[in-house]
Structure 1
Amino acid sequence: MLQELVIHDFAIIESLSLSFDAGMTALTGETGAGKSIIIDAVGLLAGGRGSTDFIRTGAAKASLEGLFDATTNPRTNEQLAAFGLDTDDETVLLQRDLYPNGRNVCRVNGRLVNTSTLRAIGETLVDIHGQNEHQQLMHPETHLGLLDQFADGAVHQQLTTYQAAYTAYQQAKKTLQTKQANEQEWAQRLDMLQFQVGEIDAADLQADEDVTLTQERDQLANFQRVSDALQTSYELLDSEDFSPIDAIGNAMESIQGIAQFNPDYAAIATALQSAYYGLQEAQGDLSRQMDQLAWDPERLDVIEKRLDLITQLKRKYGDQVSDIIAYGAKAHAELAQMQANEAGEGDLETQVNQLRQDLLTVGQQLSQARHKAALALQNAVHDQLKSLYMEKTVFEVHFEQKQVIRPDGLDTLEFYIQANPGEAAKPLAKVASGGELSRLMLALKTIFAQTDGVTSIIFDEVDTGVSGRVAQAIANKISLIAQHSQVLCITHLPQVAAMSDHEYLIQKQVHSGRTTTSVDKLSAKARVDEIARMLAGSEVTTLTREHAEELLAMAAKTRQSLAAQ
């Protein structure tokens, strides 16, 4: 649900901050007042295409912010998690800045994202329908997705099974095609992998062994220097002429004799004691190192050859020993697959054919589930169209007879309508009028509202071109949708405005030669005046106000009736 919307320097809006509630909100006002600009702002927040034309003249940038409640929207939370944008308080803050140079800065919950990420998340939060934007209905390629969405669980599992079978078939088919397309290249790749695997396996590398060997080599290569340093250090600590250990021991014993007289003496005694035992331990370590030290030229030669081998392997397979090991594992896997395929191309062809047959079997099951869902969708749409005064319109889900293997199944379908009795059913996108599309869209949206998961649905003058009882029917449908999702509706029809739970009046003014837009939430009394204006036009009379009050009262009763259904 859209909770807050903040707009700065966007088109003719200088500064605007709006709060929205659940239910149905109507946005009314004269044509050109800026109602659609607000919807454009929400659309950009949801990842729509930006333009420098949206920036208010003279402004450094246009800024948009939208705060959404995604508590009941698992799709949003899934997208947030996918992009590492989890939220703790179930709210999502979308921000977008547009600059005159064409640069866009987008943020989700304060983190910078690109426009594609913003769009992926925004599409789960906002669904915008305009008077000329019936994208899903006007594009037949989206109809299959709409049917699957309606069928939900009845098709989802079948589709998942089909897609897994499709992936397995495509992979096997690609392997066979690659092998058949270039036998020589296949053989060369096989030989290369066999050589690489043999070379890496023969090296028998251990993780980080180059580091250990380098350290050992450096010690052997500098044997004399190490030996001299150890011997000199030991002799200095254990000299007959002067022993530092004995001297410090004597000093320690002397100070310990007076330590009880002053804390500072005690501290000195402790320091001398630490130095005394520390030097004794160092002397012991030096002795052990000297005992262990041995010159082994053969070992040095072995290490040099081993490091040279590792260096050669690094030039071929990676900068680190771990990279070489990882490359070897990958080469092993590819070699095993190629050898399995090499063992019997006939077996691979048989496998591809079997996978294709399995795919067709699963595809037929998916198609049967879709045909069953299509009948249910047709009945559901017809029920909705009756209440929209289109009871004579026939809605059909038309499947093509020829089935083709595709990633989403074997089916190709399109929505057809028969607008008038006696006429043949034809593709909806080619024959439906604007008013029919609006009502069909509302019928489908009413059916899908409970499963869409979108928190905010926006209707931008979808009631254009209708009046009378059809207008009231559309108003009822939008109100019904608002029981499951927040609805923002731009309208010029008093019947639609009256059915809303909340109403905002959008007006345009000119101050100091600049045009600005203001938005005010209407009180109960102000709603009567606005509905009366929508009924009467420029001259509002007592009679039109009474008519407006009656329309609002009837709308309240209708909402109660719809809520009880």
Structure 2
Amino acid sequence: MIEEIEISDLGVIAEATLPLGPGFTAITGETGAGKTMVVTALGLLLGGRADAATVRSGAANARIDGRWVVPDSGIVAERVVEAGGDIDPFGADGEAELTLGRTVTAEGRSRAQVGGRSAPVGVLAELSGNLVAVHGQSDQIRLRSRSAQRDALDRAAGDELGATLARYREVFDRWQANKAELETLTRDREARETEAENLRAAMDEIEQAAPQPGEDEQLAATAERLTNLEELRLAAAGARESLSTELAEGDDVLALIESARRSLERVVGVDGSLQPIAEQLQNLSYLASEAAGELSSYLASLDADGSNELEAINERRALLTTLVRKHGPTLDDVIATLERGSARLLELDGDSDRIDELTTRVENDTRDVEEAASAVTGVRRRTAERLGAAITDELSALAMPDATVVVDVEDKGEYTRSGRDDVAFLMRPHAGTEPRPLSKGASGGELSRVMLAIEVVISASDPVPTYVFDEVDAGVGGAAAIEIGRRLARLAQHAQVIVVTHLAQVAAFASNHLSVVKESDGFVTASSVTRLQGDDRTAEMTRLLSGLADSDSGRAHAEELLDLGAETQMIG
């Protein structure tokens, strides 16, 4: 329920506070005073599109703040907390206060506030469905659409349809997912078969080559060695001869070291400090002898026919290079292709089995969808019969005694997440005529009454906390207007109702009457909002009836209407 709305610099409204609260609030005022700005303000609080043109001329921005009373737990409270906002619990009835705000700058920028914290405007839109149902001339147009009529029927069905439709959507979603996968596998079957053939060929090629991790680097090193074989042999032989050879002229390294060691040992007894040096020479002799032996082994390993080995290695490297180019970019990737290929082949080869499995599933899902859709249709048709009769009764009370509303539910032969039903609200204006779609058989005023009748009937099974009607009485007058007022008062017995109206016959039934007052100093026009009571309310009712606030006959009629409204509220 909306407790209060504050408006600053929106349209012609400079500063206004709307005390709302429970029951039926009527908002009246002269033409051009800014009554519709109240609905515009509420639309902005509920996430509507911001328009810089709505900012009051000369103002930097327009601001709207709303104070709601909401349950301290549930969908609204949870979404506010998720958005980082707060609600303020009070009392012992599980109620809390929620503040919403919206600012629109003269440049068209917009900011939103939820529960005292900045939030995306989209959060306001998410909350709106659980806070307010707004009806205006555009909603009357929307009521002409089949989807809006189906939504109205589903609201009337309430919990009975909720579980059935949820079951249908579960089956429908599964059916669509399986169908999509089946279509993809079937459509791509040829491409996947080609992929499997190419993968098998690649795996055969890689298996025959049997590459090993790091083999390409090892082969490159070996090829480098064999390419420089003669240079390596000369270097190794020269080194060995320098260390130890009988063919070299003069003494070799080993002989020289040995000679030096013997020279020191002859005098160690004279000076003991030479002993460590003699031992170092002994170790050098051992190391040189080992190096000479290893060089001999290295020379023996150099194959005199190394050119043949080099040719074989280059051929192997060429083979590996081809594999890397086709399946690389590295040899490790080539080996990984072989490892992953088996799993991919299992997947590709399993497509036929998967297609058969999915075909069976889709056939079963199709039967399940048909059964679930039939259940949804059954609930809708039962509800349609009750809803049509109830709306017809309401229209009789709304000065349309000859009108009959029929809610038609037909199988359109196409499944969607909402079922397969085509819902149409048909109206027979007079006995003996054929029911016609609302878009063809109802005027604007009649649509207003049909819409109100629908809300009155549906509210019993699917109540909305707050209903806002923007000139729902357009094109209506006399007795029909009085009945609209009565129905709005009836709706207000279990929901908050806010109505922008120009008819005294409707405003008379309100428990809270607000007037949008336009004032001008000759240069600037500004409007404000005043709560009317007593004589002030009677004067406004008189103006609505006769155009003159001080008309005696109008005043008498106004008092009569106010008495009728008060009597209706007492009975309610």
Structure 1 and Structure 2 fold alike (TM over 0.5): yes
The secondary structure found in structure 2 opposite 1:500 is: coil
CA shift, 1:71, in A, is 2.4
2:372 is aligned with 1:362: yes
Q: Retained in 1: the 8 A contact 2:18–2:514?
A: no
2:521 is aligned with 1:515: no
Q: Deviations over 1:69-105 (max 9, x none)?
A: 1129955346446656563522222111112222111
- Name the % identity: 32
2:478 is aligned with 1:468: yes
**Matched residues in 2 for 1:100 and 1:409: separation?**
45
Q: Deviations over 1:477-511 (max 9, x none)?
A: 01111111111111221121111101112111113
CA shift, 1:545, in A, is 2.6
Q: Retained in 2: the 8 A contact 1:140–1:429?
A: no
Match of residue 181, structure 1, among 180, 187, 195: 187
The secondary structure found in structure 1 opposite 2:179 is: helix
Structure 1 residue ranges without an equivalent (≥5): 196-332
Q: CA separation of 1:78/1:136 partners in 2, compared to 1, >3 Å: closer, same or farther?
A: farther
CA shift, 1:352, in A, is 1.1
Q: CA separation of 1:485/1:539 partners in 2, compared to 1, >3 Å: closer, same or farther?
A: closer
**Matched residues in 1 for 2:460 and 2:344: separation?**
48
**Matched residues in 1 for 2:407 and 2:198: separation?**
54
2:171 is aligned with 1:165: yes
Q: Retained in 2: the 8 A contact 1:155–1:366?
A: yes
Q: CA separation of 1:175/1:84 partners in 2, compared to 1, >3 Å: closer, same or farther?
A: farther
Q: Deviations over 1:303-337 (max 9, x none)?
A: xxxxxxxxxxxxxxxxxxxxxxxxxxxxxx99999
CA shift, 1:549, in A, is 2.1
Aligned length, in residue pairs:
428
2:108 is aligned with 1:102: yes
Q: Return the index of the structure with the highest Cα Rg.
A: 2
Aligned pairs (5 A) from 1:5-404: 5-71=5-71, 74-77=74-77, 79-80=79-80, 85=85, 87-89=87-89, 90-183=96-189, 185-186=191-192, 342-404=352-414
**Matched residues in 2 for 1:111 and 1:524: separation?**
40
**Matched residues in 2 for 1:532 and 1:349: separation?**
73
Query: Which amino acid in 1 is paired with 2:424?
Result: E
**Matched residues in 1 for 2:193 and 2:557: separation?**
86
Q: CA separation of 1:380/1:539 partners in 2, compared to 1, >3 Å: closer, same or farther?
A: closer
Query: Which amino acid in 2 is paired with 1:40?
Result: T
Q: CA separation of 1:539/1:126 partners in 2, compared to 1, >3 Å: closer, same or farther?
A: closer
Match of residue 407, structure 1, among 406, 414, 417: 417
Q: CA separation of 1:544/1:492 partners in 2, compared to 1, >3 Å: closer, same or farther?
A: same
Structure 2 residue ranges without an equivalent (≥5): 90-95, 203-342
Corresponding residue for residue 435 of structure 1: 445
Query: Which amino acid in 2 is paired with 1:138?
Result: R
Q: Deviations over 1:172-213 (max 9, x none)?
A: 111111111112554688999999xxxxxxxxxxxxxxxxxx
**TM-score, scaled relative to structure 1:** 0.70
**Matched residues in 1 for 2:508 and 2:487: separation?**
13
Corresponding residue for residue 225 of structure 2: none
Q: CA separation of 1:489/1:344 partners in 2, compared to 1, >3 Å: closer, same or farther?
A: closer
Q: Retained in 2: the 8 A contact 1:73–1:455?
A: no
Corresponding residue for residue 544 of structure 2: 534
**Matched residues in 2 for 1:503 and 1:187: separation?**
76
The secondary structure found in structure 2 opposite 1:499 is: coil
Q: After the TM superposition, list the runs of 4 or more consecutive aligned residues in structure 1 that deviate by more than 4 angstroms.
A: 72-75, 81-86, 184-195, 333-342
The secondary structure found in structure 1 opposite 2:387 is: helix
**Matched residues in 1 for 2:72 and 2:413: separation?**
38
Q: Deviations over 1:29-76 (max 9, x none)?
A: 211111111111111111112211001112111111111111299553
Query: Which amino acid in 1 is paired with 2:558?
Result: A
Match of residue 445, structure 1, among 455, 461, 465: 455
Q: Retained in 2: the 8 A contact 1:341–1:348?
A: no
Query: Which amino acid in 2 is paired with 1:546?
Result: A
Query: Which amino acid in 2 is paired with 1:69?
Result: V
Q: Retained in 2: the 8 A contact 1:70–1:455?
A: no
Q: CA separation of 1:169/1:509 partners in 2, compared to 1, >3 Å: closer, same or farther?
A: same
Q: CA separation of 1:61/1:365 partners in 2, compared to 1, >3 Å: closer, same or farther?
A: same
The secondary structure found in structure 1 opposite 2:156 is: helix
**Matched residues in 2 for 1:163 and 1:148: separation?**
14
Corresponding residue for residue 277 of structure 2: none
Q: Deviations over 1:193-237 (max 9, x none)?
A: 999xxxxxxxxxxxxxxxxxxxxxxxxxxxxxxxxxxxxxxxxxx
**Matched residues in 1 for 2:8 and 2:545: separation?**
33
Q: CA separation of 1:336/1:470 partners in 2, compared to 1, >3 Å: closer, same or farther?
A: farther
Q: Retained in 2: the 8 A contact 1:403–1:412?
A: no
Q: Retained in 2: the 8 A contact 1:75–1:453?
A: no
Q: Retained in 1: the 8 A contact 2:157–2:461?
A: no
Name the stretch that deviates more: 81-90 or 417-426.
81-90
Query: Which amino acid in 2 is paired with 1:376?
Result: R
Corresponding residue for residue 455 of structure 1: 465
Q: CA separation of 1:382/1:84 partners in 2, compared to 1, >3 Å: closer, same or farther?
A: farther
Q: Deviations over 1:449-478 (max 9, x none)?
A: 244443221111111222221111010001
Corresponding residue for residue 482 of structure 1: 492
Q: Retained in 2: the 8 A contact 1:481–1:487?
A: yes
Corresponding residue for residue 300 of structure 2: none
Q: CA separation of 1:2/1:78 partners in 2, compared to 1, >3 Å: closer, same or farther?
A: same
Q: CA separation of 1:106/1:142 partners in 2, compared to 1, >3 Å: closer, same or farther?
A: same
**Matched residues in 2 for 1:20 and 1:335: separation?**
70
Q: CA separation of 1:10/1:176 partners in 2, compared to 1, >3 Å: closer, same or farther?
A: same
Q: CA separation of 1:133/1:344 partners in 2, compared to 1, >3 Å: closer, same or farther?
A: closer
Q: CA RMSD in A?
A: 3.0
CA shift, 1:134, in A, is 1.4
Q: Retained in 2: the 8 A contact 1:8–1:62?
A: yes
Query: Which amino acid in 1 is paired with 2:134?
Result: I
The secondary structure found in structure 2 opposite 1:454 is: coil
